[in-house]
Chains A and B, each alone.
With several copies, the nearest count.
Chain A
Amino acid sequence: MKDVVSELLRDHIYKMAASGKRVDGRAPEEYREIKVRKGYAGNAEGSARVDLGETEVLVGVKMILGEPYPDRPKEGSIVTTMELIPMASPTFEAGPPREKAIELARVVDRGIRESKAIDLGKLCIIEGEKVWIVFIDVHVLDYGGNLFDASSFGALAALTNAVVPASKINGEDYPLEVEHHPISITATKIKDVIVFDASLDEDRVADARLTIATDENGHIRAMQKGLKGSFTLDEVDYVVKTARKLADEIRPKVVG
């Protein structure tokens, strides 16, 4: 569970960052290359394989017939799971979801759910009886830093790729409607310096993390501060502004 990270690495990364540079040559607000391959998993209703630099995630969307919650008879539901499979990193372990995976899954889930990217009402087939349950399963294949954004990109891309299998209920299959396109941007703070889209090494020495999802109108849809460090009010302001700018640049690559 613990990476033994030398203080040397931490100092090195910090010193470079403090002078506006990064170990891999990027600018502080620069994202790594984003590659999105939709429709990769043929047995899923929708899927996307996302490369974000050295990080690779595969997200599959499955749509299952089920019953609505008693208190929401006219709505389908969304379930997001995250497996940090041990393939992706020497330090992930198999087994029941641990804290880290749960936080990731819940932040991805809220990004989709609370932004109303999917209209749950449209997932209702027969009120109180039959609805679509949308499973968003995030499979991390290669962990090279910034899982929050890679997973969020993957979830949104897989949804925009999804087809509602209405033929199962004697209808005709049709594309799942995605109403909003929230893009998650994560700032990472090392001592007093902030960079975006942390690499693996930057993740390992990070003091604090702030993830902001903004939609196509520049509105804030989800936020999550993480790790043991803190942000000043000015830093929060800076991160929110930058997140809106970066989201607008990245959105087309994800939505396609």
Chain B
Amino acid sequence: MEEGKLVNDKGIRVDGRRVDELRPIKLEAGVLNRADGSAYIEWGKNKVLAAVYGPREAHPRHRQDPARALVQCRYNMAPFSVSDRKRPGPDRRSVEISKVISEAFSHVVLREQFPRATVDVFMEVLQASAGTRCTALTVAAVALADAGIPMRDIISSCAFGKADGQVILDLDKAEDNEGQADVPIAIVPRTNEIVLLQMDGHITKEEFDSGLKMAVDACHRINEMQRDALRRRYSVTADTHEAVKAISEGV
């Protein structure tokens, strides 16, 4: 492989992946004691934990929506999750990510069932290595299902991008730093509706179209892993059998 090349002539990337190949993903549901639902993911070198509390009464009261539940997400990076220590607490980047993830989940949670309530979703990035917002959204979707929050579907997320002029799936850290574009998306797998889409960089319409197709396909593969994690979880706890069924059938 040429020096400095991110994708070689055979379409193989530095870490050995093909252009449309995901990094390895490990997902586990039900990992915390206090939360109503929780999940843990390792995606490439990312490690993210998600917890869900609710539906519970929203505070302060003037924030309540009398017709439906709020879905409030908090994406947070641990100070030691990145090479240069990050100051504790929300910065502008994490506020924006929290907002777009909240909006994505608001589309699928059956919010009308819980007026005045809030569903709080906490995502803690414990180790970060490119693509944390997709990783966080994916694990949070499992935590929401684990908490028994009624949803139209389990949403799935993945990024595509461009490096060395090639459209590639699921950028790793070097590809993110040196590539030309990064496009995180999230979809409702059952309908292929797009609920999260961001992009910056430089990409043509044609590249965008082919990358989007690649990422949508990958989201479906990821959705299978999310459902597997929930099945493993529920095979252990038989009393939540109904919930499993509801989710597998996509009520």
Interface assignment of A246: CB less than 8 Å from any CB of chain B: no
Question: B202 within 8 Å of A by Cβ?
Answer: yes
Decide: A222 and B32 in contact? CB cutoff 8 A.
no
Q: A89-B34, A141-B32, A210-B197 are in contact. Are A227 and B80 (CB under 8 A)?
A: no
Which residues of B (54-108) have their CB < 8 Å from a CB of A? 56, 63, 65, 74, 76, 78-85, 88-90, 92-93, 95-96, 98-100, 103, 106-107
Cα distance A27–B100 in the bound complex, in angstroms: 29
Interface residue? A201 (CB, 8 A): no
With A110-B200, A226-B100, A230-B188 as known contacts, state yes or no: A220 contacts B208, CB within 8 Å: yes
**CB–CB A114/B200 < 8 A:** yes
How distant is A89 from chain B, measured CB to nearest CB, in Å?
Answer: 5
Say whether B25 faces chain A, with CB atoms less than 8 Å apart: no
B198 (CB) vs chain A CBs: closest residue: A224
- On chain A, the number of residues with a Cβ less than 8 Å from chain B's Cβ atoms is 68
- Check if A68 is an interface residue, CB within 8 A of chain B: no
Say yes or no: A137 contacts B195, CB within 8 Å. Answer: no
Contact of B203 among A56, A220, A226, A233 (CB under 8 A): A220
CA distance A95 to B89 in the complex (A): 7
Q: Is B49 among interface residues, defined by CB-CB distance under 8 A?
A: yes
In the assembled complex, the Cα of A94 lies from the Cα of B75 at a distance in Å of 11
Question: Do A231 and B80 form a contact, CB below 8 Å, given A143-B34, A218-B205?
Answer: no
A221 contacts B202, CB within 8 Å? yes
Chain A residues near B98: list those with CB within 8 A.
99
Nearest B-chain residue to A111, judged by Cβ: B200
B residues less than 8 Å from A141 (CB atoms):
32, 49, 124
Nearest residue (CB) in A for B216 is: A233
Majority DSSP secondary structure for residues of B touching A: mixed
A105 touches B92 (CB 8 A): yes
Report B116 CB to chain A, min CB distance, Å: 13
A224 CA to B98 CA in the complex, in Å? 14
Residue of A139, A227, A232, A244 with most partner-chain B CB within 10 A: A139
CB of B119 within 8 Å of the partner chain: no
A241 at the interface (CB under 8 A from B): yes
Q: CB-CB < 8 A to A113: which residues of B?
A: 200
> Please, which residues of chain A bring their CB within 8 A of the CB of B90?
94
Cβ–Cβ contact B212 & A223, under 8 A: no
Which residues between 115 and 167 of chain B lie within 8 Å of chain A, taking CB atoms?
A: 120, 122, 124, 126-129
Q: Are the CB atoms of A244 and B205 closer together than 8 Å? A: yes
Give the interface size class of chain B. Answer: 35 or more
Q: Per-position contact with B for A84-101: 1 when CB-CB < 8 Å, else 0?
A: 011111100011110100
Q: Please, which residue of chain B has its CB at the minimum distance from the CB of A218? A: B205
Complex contact B192–A233 (CB within 8 A):
yes
Would you call A221 and B107 a contact (CB within 8 A)?
A: no
Residues 243-255 of A, flagged 1 when their CB comes within 8 A of B and 0 if not, give 0100000000000
Q: Judging by beta carbons under 8 Å apart, are B95 and A99 in contact?
A: yes
* A residues near B78, Cβ cutoff 8 Å: 41, 58, 60, 83, 137, 139
Residues of B within 8 A of A210 (CB): 197
A residues apposed to B, CB below 8 Å: 1-2, 40-44, 47, 54, 56, 58, 60-62, 64, 81, 83, 85-90, 94-97, 99, 102-103, 105-106, 110-111, 113-116, 135, 137, 139, 141-144, 210, 215, 218-233, 236-237, 240-241, 244
Further contacts, 6 of them, CB under 8 A, given A56-B32, A99-B96, A135-B79: A56-B33, A90-B53, A105-B92, A141-B32, A221-B200, A223-B200
Q: Which 10 A-B pairs have the closest CB atoms?
A: A60-B80, A114-B200, A223-B199, A230-B193, A44-B80, A225-B197, A87-B122, A62-B85, A228-B106, A137-B79
